[in-house]
Amino acid sequence: MIKVKIKNNIIKISGHANYNEFGNDIVCASVSSIILTTVNSIMNIEKSSIDYNDDGKVITIINNQTNENTNILLNTMIELLKDLEKKYKKNIKIESEE
């Protein structure tokens, strides 16, 4: 299961969807696409507005809350992930402590 943990200005994503075998997992592909598109967009707008780290196990995004566009993009990313969670409850879980 992919776990998305949101606490204050930190978003952590970890795990595997296990919806299908490696290379054919549409849930993993969707999550990856949503996250990478969002991060790349933010980096093109203002790199300093987030701190991004992918250690191969956990992706961490820290919102430095310096840019309105960054907030909009991150909120949109979270809403897209929540939409996936509604359809694939066994494969992705979002926990928010805000």
Query: Could you list the active site residues?
Result: 16, 28
Q: Which residue has the tokens 């507005």?
A: 49
Residue 42: name the closest of 65, 73, 8 by CA: 73
As given in the structure block, the two tokens for residue 55 are 């250690």
Helix or strand or coil: residue 65? coil
